[in-house]
Homo-oligomer: A and B are copies of this chain.
Amino acid sequence: MATLADVARRAGVSTATASRIINGSSKPVTEELRTRVLAAVAELRYVPNAHAQMLARSNRNAVGVLVHDVSDPYFAEITRGLQRVATAHGRLVIICNTFREPARELEYIDLLHAHQVAAIVVAGSGYLSSDAETELHERMAAFETTGGRIAVIGRHSHTSDAVLPANEEGGFLAGDHLFALGHTAVGVIAGPAALTTTADRLAGLHRAAAAHGATLTVVHADFTRDGGEAATLKLLADEPALTAVAALNDSMAVGALSAMRTCGRTLSVVGFDDMPVARDVTPALTSVRLPLTELGERAMELALTPPTGSSPRVEHIPAELIRRESTWPLSRPT
């Protein structure tokens, strides 16, 4: 490893001068020294040690991102937005995959903290009142007291800035759509019961059901396609009278479509998130759109902007129903 000292020696200058030239400091320097130093840099293939720089400057340049799973399209889209904004601000992004394990979340928060990142974005649903969730918020607070910034996406927090997708409203939209079409026996493929996202979307669905005087049959799955397929198979077997299904994300909706195909049933299906796959399945999926990329962009924007006031900022992102071909009116039997 060539060091600054090597470069300086080779160019016959002090490390101070070398540093100033390399960093393009405002201090004036003779043209001759400048070329000598730059030549030495090239010859030695010198690359400054970022850790030493961090230490000396004690400024923070990277930002960390905590996501449940990058290969899940939901998070992939969000991550895309996060990266776009971070890159535009010249920030390095460190992505950490928690694999949905709360313990790993804690670990990573500390890791990012240790790496002196400028900000951390925590994306993805939290857990309904668990110890790990409490502990997480404590660590987040500890990070913030050191001057770090935190923004959460779709996670409740009363200390950090947050971007909140309209999960409850989206659930309502999905339910209202189905009920307005005349369906009364509606099944719900929900996500894990412990997640706030599941709870919120479900709440919206229940609100819609109540408004139409209908009831819902809920089964819980794990937000994956195969999980959704299995859950739908079971639901269809247990409740043969259902005429429509609401899945709490598109992956599970796709699974539901597949399940219906294998048992030869055709129920209306509404998904959630409007992921790219929604328009490519048959029938094209009616889905509640959440602008995922935008979610990521706004969160990163919040994380990189100094707090305006004292209280945390909260942005609400609306949901929108995208009607396609997987939902149709039910002609009332009576």
Contact = CB atoms under 8 A, between A and B. Distances in A.
| 10 nearest A-B residue pairs (beta carbon) | A282-B282, A50-B114, A71-B76, A71-B80, A51-B54, A51-B51, A45-B142, A95-B95, A50-B115, A47-B113
Contacts of A276: 225
Contacts of A115: 50-51, 92
A97 B113 CA distance: 22
A92 B62 CA distance: 14
Interface in A54-95: 54-55, 69-73, 76-77, 79-80, 83, 87, 92-95
A254 B280 contact: yes
A92 B111 contact: yes
Interface residues of A, number: 50
Nearest to A1: B146
A212 to B, nearest CB: 31
Contacts of A146: 1-2, 47
When all copies of this chain in the complex are counted, the total is 2
Contacts of A199: none
Contact of A280 (B45, B73, B87, B258): B258
Nearest to A95: B95
A40 B136 CA distance: 20
A93 B95 contact: yes
Contacts of A151: none
A304 B112 CA distance: 22
Interface in A79-125: 79-80, 83, 87, 92-97, 99, 110-111, 113-116
Contacts of A94: 92-95
